[in-house]
Structure formats: structure tokens, C-alpha cells
Amino acid sequence: MRKNRWWISGAAVMSAALILTAGFSWKLPAGDIGPENELEMESETESETEDTAWEFPIKETEMREKEEAMDDLEEAGDFLMGFLGGDNKAAGMPAADAFYMPAQESALYYDEPAGMNWNTEEYGTVQESGFQLTSQNPLSTFGMDVDTASYTLLRRNALNDTMSWMPRDGVRIEEMINYFSYDYPEPEEDLFQITAEISDCPWNQETRLMLIGLNARDIPEEEIPDQNLVLLIDTSGSMYDQDKLPLAVSSLEYLIPGLGPEDTISIVTYAGSSEVALKGESCTEEGKERICEVLESLEAGGGTYGEGGIRKAYELARETFLEGGNNRVLLFTDGDFNLGQTDDTELVDLVKKSAGEEIFLSIFGLGEGNYNDALAERLADEGNGNYSYIDSSIEARRTLGGAMKGTLNTVAKDAKIQVDFNPAVVKGYRLIGYENRAMDDADFMDDSKDGGEVGAGQQVTVLYELVMTGSSMEIPSAHSRYTETESLTEAELSGGEEYLTVSIRYQNPDAEENAGGSILQELPVTSAMEREEMSDNMTWAAGVAETGMLLRGSEYAGDSSYEDVRESLKGLTSDEYREEFVYLLKYFEAAGTLGDS
């Protein structure tokens, strides 16, 4: 039987603790998930946090009371676990498990009765891309994507023993690959540095594997634009759990330290109605205290008037609009809208209309059981935005702390990629992932068509499987007498050194600088980019892609196996996130192929 998690939090648990202990009166503060309770993976990271973090104003006496209360609560939890006949998984669990406990406190696990299923999560449909015959479809076009939510959702389910909650369509391979950083060269003159390499495909002896790596230029600290941020926070009843509203509040502890006096924060909340809790507060030291006071006062309850919250947040963003600044709405939600407009299409249209006003969107998903991944992804895609899922304070630090510059500051909007394959060299190809970002080939030249948004210093990694000319591998296709090789010119049939050309097109986020239209960069890929052995970048990306295909039960997984993935990734765990991925492989393998939506 699957095991479900019940957090020691809220009124029910407090009642149990009061019965089982000598009794105390203490309210679990929203900031309890914050960095002061993290299980640090490295002392170096801990020292950085101590040096840079601006802490929420919690009184010393309150902290003492909290510590005493937690001691009592832990004893109560241990007793209650024995009473229920369960086991405390938080005690003695592997580091990665404990590291990502959303509440960072003891958790109770119980055997779920047969037939009981609390899962109502929603995921969109992903139709996996197949091989294309180059002679018929020489162009492959899609929008850039730097979202990472799919991977953090996979991690959450793996560590919570709820992999059965996630359907195969929740596995977006490009988001798994792009979660990790790669050793790409820095841009020189252009905004992006484009790299490419081709080598043997690990899972298919009849194909080659190509990696395309894009690295966006970082912004020097002195050039970061002023920030006009509107925090749109779901405070409905469904946000009560510790891994929802309390985690959202404590996550913002990583954002606030990086803001200065010229930056402003507004706060809009929505539950049964939408309210402006704070308008245009400057991020001075006094302003930061005021912001934190408002955040710590938030409580969950009522319905979910998401439509009203979105409208009010964009209205406030327009009222406080900063010319030449970064104007952005940050939405923290579980995506469970049930009041006002609840139809996904209507909500997407609402966001899409506002995106044309140079107001960007960042979505931070929270919670489990009722989470709506499909809606969050669509809102981000249509709202000139990016999408992350926060499963812990550690992920909050990564997204809103260390990677904040890229998360908040867009350097390329409506960014697209088009790969033009030479049919004399490449017989066929398959794009791995990016199914939900596919575009018509003609849209690449059309600046009115929306692409993706890329932030300062962010990277985009793309993998293609290639079938080279001369291969006996058959590629299913519809044949026409007018598109056979006889129709190719003599020059095209001669091939030459060029295998293909990678083109990217993007617009400057500042509308005034787009008078000359979008910007084009190109990179011809030639035989000089062939490699006998894959680079570390390509090896890691290939291993992550294989894992995604295994989870999806892909018909293109070929000879893929978790054993091969583990072997190929040995020695490539250059940071804690890669170490964690290798650790998670055993959970993914145990889960097997995920089911349908």
C-alpha cells in the first residue's frame, strides 16, 4: 500500500500535541520553514547564507518559546507514531530525503486504506515527438524554455513515496535537463553563446545524438534594472498546509535581501475575494520590515477567487509601473481556482492580454494532492513568464536566492529556435522534449508570435537524435512524388561540411529597443563538431533524458536502463543537485513506467 504524509501542523495536530504533552500554547509561525531550520548540504552554503541573509524580525523570546514547543511537539509525535503503529521516516532517512522535507519537521506516515486516494492533481497532455524525415520536414521550430517545475515535482513525488500520483505526461524531459547547469562558454559579443556537438547515441546504435547549448549573458550588478514586483499570494483554504502558504511566505525570505531602496514590492492576496495588502512599498530596511510583517500576518481560509487576484495584481502592476524597470507579477499558488472564472482558457486569455503590456509573470507552484500543474504551465507560457515548483526552502533559495537574477530579469523575450537540417547529410531527426513549445516553421520569422522568455545568465539545453544519410533505419513518413530526393538540386545532394544550421531569434524585453525588429543569431553545425566521446555536458544531459524516457515508457528509449545511466554519470556530480539526481535514480527505477493521466 502507498504511504501518505500527514504533517504535524495546524489545529488537528496541535490538539493531539496538547493532549499528549503537558500542554503549551504556541502557534507555528509561517517562517518556520525558512532557512534557520534548513538541513544544509555543505557548510560553505551555510556560511554564505549567514553572511547574506536578511532575517525575518522574530523576537528572541518567541524563538525560545518555539524551541521549547518543538521539543514537546517532537515527543508528542514520537508517542503518536507508536500509537498509530507507523514509522517516523524523517528519523534516520538518507540525507536527500531529510533535506527536502517541506516542513523541515517530523512527518507522520500511515498505511493508506485500500481504495483511498487523495490525489486530484492535474497535468497536461504531452504527445512525444517522433522522427521526422528531413527531405519532407527540414525545419524544426520551437520556443525556448527555461522552466524546471517538472523535475521538482518528480523529486517531490519520489521522496514522498507518491510517484503513482504523477502521470507520464507530467514528465517534461526538457525541464528535467534544464534544471541543471552546464559548463558552456560565456557569450562574447552577442547576447547568446551557441555551442553544439555530435556523438554516438547511448541508447540507439543506429542514431547519433546532438547537443545544442545556449548560454545567455549575465547582467552586472550595477546594470540590474529597478524592480517593481507584485506578490500575488493564494491565501485560500487549500493553502493551509505547511508546504503551501507557510512555505510561500518563508520562500520570500530569500528574495527580499537582494532588493534595494529603489525597488518596490506590492502584495495582493486572494481567497473568497481579492485584497491589496500592500502597495508600492520601497525596499528600504524599514520597508522590508513592513513587507515581512504583512507576509507573516497572512492566514489561509475561504474559496479561491483566482481570477480576481490576477486582475487586481496586474492593475496594481500598471499603477506602480517603472519605466525601464522590471515589472513583474509573482504568483504563489497550488493552482486550485474555484471562484470567478475557473475555466483554464479564460484565465490564460486574461494573463495573455496583460503580457502585451510589458508586465512579466513568474509562477511558483506549491503543495500536493490538489496541485494543478497544467494550469500553472499554461499561464506561464502565455504570460511572458517562467514556471518553478517549490518543494522546500532549499528550492526556494535556489530559485529566489541564487538564481533570482535569471528568474526575475528577462534579457530575451519571445525567444525561438529553428534548426534547418541538410537532407544530404541528415536523413531524419527527433527533438527530445519541448513538445509543448512546438511552433509552426513560419512563426520563426513572425515577431508577433510568442516564443519563450530567457533570463540573465540562464541556459537552454536541447538534444536531438539524428539519423544520418546512409543509415538503414526506416523513418515512417507520408510520401509524395514531388518531395523525393530526385527533387533536390545537385548542390544540395553534394552535402558539403554543413550538417545543419541552428538559428535563434529573440526580442529585447525593452519595447523601445525593438524598433528594428527581432535579433537573429546563427551557428552552422559541421563535421568539425563530431566527437568520438561525449563531453561531460552532453553525457549528463543524455543521462537525464534517458531517465525521462524510462519514466515515460518512451517507445524511443531503445537500450536505455537505469544501470547504464548510473554508470555514465559517475564522476559528473559537480554540485549537490547532481548528487541528488543520482541518489533519486533508485526511486525512479522503483516507480517503473508512470501511468496515464
Per residue in 142-167, pLDDT tens? 999 899 999 999 999 999 999 988 99
What gap in Å lies between CA 580 and CA 544, rounded to an integer? Answer: 12
Cβ contacts of 384 within 8 Å, gap of 6 or more: 355, 359, 360, 361, 410, 413, 450, 453
Contact 147, 191 (CB under 8 A): no
pLDDT band at 107 (very low <50, low <70, confident <90, very high): very low
By three-state DSSP, how is residue 198 classified?
Answer: strand
| Residue 338: per-residue pLDDT | 59
CA distance 543 to 560: 9
Q: How many CB atoms lie within 10 A of CB 244?
A: 28
Highest mean pLDDT among 15-24, 137-146, 305-314: 137-146
Burial of residue 346 (number of CB atoms within 10 Å: 0-12, 13-18, 19+): exposed
pLDDT for residue 537 is more than 70: yes
Q: What's the pLDDT tens digit per position in 245-302?
A: 999 999 999 999 889 999 999 999 998 888 999 999 999 999 999 999 999 999 998 8
Q: How far apart are CA 507 and CA 426, in angstroms?
A: 30
Q: Nearest 5°: CA angle at 535, between 531 and 538?
A: 100
Instruction: Give the tens place of pLDDT for each residue, 297-330.
Output: 999 988 877 788 899 999 999 999 999 899 999 9
All domains of the chain, ordered by start, with CATH?
A: 3-111 (no CATH), 132-219+411-591 (2.60.40.1230), 221-408 (3.40.50.410)
pLDDT in tens, 487-499: 445 444 455 579 9
Dihedral sign for Cα atoms in the order 336, 342, 348, 354: negative
Q: Are 468 and 426 in contact (CB under 8 A)?
A: yes
Give residues with Cβ within 8 angstroms of 442, minimum separation 6: none
Angstrom distance (rounded) from CA 577 to CA 597: 28
Contacts of 481 (CB under 8 A, 6+ apart): none
pLDDT digits (tens, 9 = 90+) for 477-536: 766 555 554 444 544 445 557 999 999 999 998 766 566 689 999 999 999 999 999 999
What is the per-residue pLDDT for 459? 97
Under 8 Å between Cβ of 144 and 406 = no
**Residue 18 pLDDT exceeds 60:** no
Contact 191, 412 (CB under 8 A): yes
Extract the C-alpha cell encoding 502: 541552428
Query: What single letter denotes the amino acid at residue 221?
Result: E
Which percentage of the chain shows pLDDT scores above 90?
60
Quick one: pLDDT band at residue 89, thresholds 50, 70, 90?
Answer: very low
Kindly indicate the confidence band of residue 20, based on its pLDDT and cuts at 50, 70 and 90. very low
Of 26 and 359, more confident:
359
Is pLDDT above 70 for 8? no
Query: Which strand (E) or helix (H) includes residue 361?
Result: strand 360-365
β-bridge pairing 410-421 and 452-455: antiparallel
Which of 53, 10, 5 is closest to 29 using CA atoms?
10
pLDDT at 96 over 70: no
Q: Which residue in 260, 246, 352 sits closest to 296, CA to CA?
A: 246
What is the DSSP code (8-state) at residue 226? P
Region 201-211 average pLDDT: 97
402-444 pLDDT, tens per residue? 777 888 899 999 999 999 999 999 999 999 999 999 999 999 9
Query: Distance between CA atoms of 383 and 376, rounded to whole angstroms?
Result: 10
The per-residue pLDDT for 355 is 73
- Band of pLDDT at residue 597, cut at 50, 70 and 90: low
pLDDT above 70 coverage of the chain, percent: 75
**116 backbone dihedrals φ, ψ, rounded to 5°:** -85, 130
At residue 71, the pLDDT reads: 54
Q: What SS3 class is residue 5?
A: strand
Confidence band (pLDDT; 50, 70, 90) for 551? very high
Q: What is the distance between the alpha carbons of residues 119 and 122, in angstroms, rounded to a whole number?
A: 9
Task: Give DSSP secondary structure letters for 416-480.
Answer: EEEEEE-TTTEEEEEEES-GGGB--GGGGG-TTS--EEEETT-EEEEEEEEEETT----------
Q: pTM, whole model, 2 decimals?
A: 0.81
Residue 390, amino acid: I
The CB density around residue 331, as the number of other CB atoms within 10 Å, is 28
Which one, of 163, 162, 167, 168, lies nearest residue 112 by Cα?
Answer: 162
Please determine, for residue 41, whether its predicted confidence score (pLDDT) is greater than 90: no
Amino acid letter for position 28: L
- Single-letter amino acid code for the residue at 588: F
CB 158 within 8 A of CB 587: yes
Would you say residue 380 has pLDDT above 50? Answer: yes
How many whole angstroms separate alpha carbon 103 and alpha carbon 196? 42
Strongest mean pLDDT among 84-88, 118-122, 572-576: 572-576
User: What integer pLDDT is reported at residue 93 of this predicted model?
Assistant: 37
CA dist., res. 230 & res. 213, Å (int):
33
DSSP 329: E
Q: Between these two residues, 101 and 461, which has the higher pLDDT value?
A: 461
pLDDT band at 58 (very low <50, low <70, confident <90, very high): very low
DSSP 184-196: PPPPSSSSEEEEE
Beta bridge partners of 186: none
Confidence of residue 356 (pLDDT cuts 50, 70, 90): confident
C-alpha distance from residue 229 to each of 148, 281, 292, 538 (Å): 21, 10, 15, 37
DSSP tag of 401: I
368, 162 contact by CB (below 8 A)? yes
Whether residue 242 has pLDDT greater than 90: yes
Q: Which three cell numbers stand for residue 482?
A: 514531388
Residue 352 pLDDT class (50, 70, 90 cuts): confident
Q: Please check the confidence at residue 194 and state whether its pLDDT lies above 90.
A: yes
- Joined grid coordinates for residue 475: 523513418
Q: With 60 as the cut, is the pLDDT of residue 232 above it?
A: yes
Please write down the HEC assignment for all residues of 523-557.
EEEEHHHECCCCCHHHHHHHHHHHHHHHHHCCCCC
**How many other CB atoms are there within 10 angstroms of residue 125's CB atom?**
11
Backbone angles phi, psi at 168, to 5 degrees: -60, -30
